[in-house]
Amino acid sequence: MREAHPVEQAVGMAYYVSDSDGVGGQLRREPAAFGVREIEAFDVEPIDAERGAYPHVVFRATLAGWDTNDFANVLSDQLGISRERVSWAGTKDKHARTTQLFSVAKVDPAGLEAIDLSDVEIDILGRSGRPILFGDLAGNAFEIEISDPDAPGNLDAVLGGLAAFAGSASGSGEDDSSTRIGVPNYFGQQRFGSQRPVTHEVGLAIACGDWKDAVLAYVGNQHEREREDTRESRAYVTETEDWQGALDRLPKRLGYERSMCHRLAENGAEEPEDFRAALETVPTNLQQLFVNAAQSYAFNRILSARLERGLPFDEPVAGDVVCFADNDAPDGLELPDTDRVQRVTAENVGTIRRHCERGRAFVTAPLLGTESELADGEPGEIERAVFDDLGISPTDFDLPGEFHSEGTRRAILLRTELSVEREPLTLSFALPKGSYATVVLREITKSDPADL
C-alpha cells in the first residue's frame, strides 16, 4: 500500500489503495469547476398548504462560492430572523457550485423570493411540517474538473487499481464510458478542517470531559497553513489564556473563536462549565460537528488499521457487523441502511458474503457513541485497539445538549460508477449521503490535500 500525504495521515487516512502515481492537478480553480447537486429524498406539500400544519418553507438554492453556514447567516439576516430557523440537509464547501435543499421556519415566501444575493439562485418548492435535517437526502451527484493535471496518462492505471479494490460486486461499469471503482469510505479532510484539521481534537477533548482543552484546541492550536496574523493570535491564546486580550488580537473573520473568548471574558473562565458555555456559543450544528469529527477520526483510524492487516473491504470476515442496502435508494446509488445490521459468524459468513457480492449488504465499522456495540473477532480487536489508544469508550459520549451522541455504524467501502471526459479532464459520479468526493479524488490525483 502507498502511504498517504502527512496531512491526511494526521486525520487517520494512512494509505492510498491505488499504487499508481496520480494525475496531479488542482480542483476548485473556480466554483463552476466543482459541481455538486443533492440527490433529494424529501417530500413537500404545495406552497399554499395550511401554514399552521406546514410552517417550514422548503426551497432549492444554487450557490456559487458560498459556504453553507455563511449563506444561512446572511439569509437569516436579510429575513430578520434567527439563524436557527434555517435548516439544510448537508453542509457544502464554498469552493464549489452547489444545488441543495433548505427550509426556513415561519417565513413569508415573498421574503425569500425577494432575496437578492450575488451568485445565489432560489427556487421555492413548497412547505413541510418539519425542518429539513442532516441526512434528508439520498446522496450527491458530482461533476468535477481537474485543472492542469501533471500526468493525465496515469488515470487508467489508477482506475484499474480502484476497480480491483471495489471487489466482486464491481462489474465493468454500466456502459463503456464508466468504470466501477471502490475506495475506503474515509471521512474527507474537510470533516476536520481543510486548512487547520483540529475539529476532531476538540471533539476528543469534549468526549474526555475536558472542556477547557476543547476550547484551547479550537481557539489556540495554530497551524502553518494559516495567515500570519491568525497564527500569532492563536499562539497568544495558547501562551496566556488571556481571553480579553485574545479578543483584541483575533481577526474579525474568526467569528466563532471570538464568540468563545467573549463568553470566557464575561464568565471568568474559572470552572469547567464556563468553558462548556463558551463552546455552546457556536451554532448547534458546529457543536455536533466537534463530536462527529472525533468519531470520524476514530473511524478513519479503524479503516487504516484494517488495511494494514489485509482484511477485505468488499466482503466480511467472521466477527464483522454488516448493514443491508436501503431498498428505497435511487437507481444506481448504493445506499447502506445502518438501522438494519447483522453480526457475521463462522456459520453465516458464506451467506452474508454472497449478499455483499450482490451489493445487498456492506461491511461496517462504528462511529462510537453511547449505544455502540463493537464487532467480534479480528475486526473487534481493531476497533478496541483504536478506541483504547484514543482513551474513549461508549459512555464518554453521554454528554450534555448537542454534544450527546448515541453513535451508529458506517459502511467501510465506497463504490461508484465513474465517467470520464478527457478534455478537459472531468469526472462525473454519484455518492451516498455522508460520503466525500475528495476521498475518491485523492486517489486519482495523489495531490497535496490543499489542492483538493
* Three-state DSSP class for residue 194: coil
CATH number for the domain whose boundaries are 286-411: 3.30.2350.20
* Three-state DSSP class for residue 254: coil
Predicted confidence at residue 41, as pLDDT, reads 86
Q: From first to last of its 452 residues, what are the pLDDT tens digits of the chain?
A: 899 999 999 999 999 999 999 999 999 888 889 999 999 889 999 999 999 999 999 999 999 999 898 999 999 999 999 999 999 988 887 889 999 999 999 999 999 999 989 999 999 999 999 999 987 899 999 999 999 999 999 999 999 999 999 996 544 444 557 899 999 999 999 899 878 899 999 999 999 999 999 999 999 999 888 999 999 999 999 999 999 999 999 999 999 999 999 999 999 999 999 999 999 999 888 999 999 999 999 999 999 999 999 999 999 999 999 999 998 888 889 999 999 999 999 999 999 999 999 999 999 999 999 999 999 999 999 999 999 999 999 999 999 999 999 999 999 999 999 999 999 999 999 999 999 999 999 999 999 887 77
- Distances from the Cα of 446 to the Cα of 94, 146, 193, 241, 442, angstroms: 22, 12, 19, 39, 5
- Distances from the Cα of 193 to the Cα of 93, 202, 445, angstroms: 11, 11, 20
Question: For the purposes of burial, counting CB atoms within 10 Å of the CB of 80, is it exposed (0-12), middle (13-18) or buried (19 or more)?
Answer: exposed
What kind and span of H or E run contains 448? none
Q: How many CA atoms lie within 13 A of 102 on its CB side?
A: 30
- Distances from the Cα of 404 to the Cα of 81, 147, 162, angstroms: 27, 41, 37
Classify domain 195-282 at the CATH topology level.
Hypothetical Protein Yqey; Chain: A; domain1 (1.10.1510)
* Three-state DSSP class for residue 30: coil
Residue tagged active-site, from 43, 77, 93, 388: 93
Joined together, the cell numbers standing for residue 172 give 465493468
CATH 3.30.2350.20 placement within the chain: 286-411
CATH 1.10.1510.30 placement within the chain: 195-282
- Distances from the Cα of 300 to the Cα of 130, 368, 424, angstroms: 33, 12, 32
Is residue 364 within 8 A of residue 412, CB to CB? The reply is: yes
- CATH class for the domain made up of 33-138: alpha beta
DSSP letter string, 351-406: HHHHHHHTTSEEEEEEE--TT-----HHHHHHHHHHHHHHT--GGGG--SGGG---
Is there a catalytic annotation at residue 93? yes
Predicted confidence at residue 362, as pLDDT, reads 97
Q: How far apart are CA 263 and CA 261, in angstroms?
A: 5
CATH 3.30.70.3160 placement within the chain: 33-138
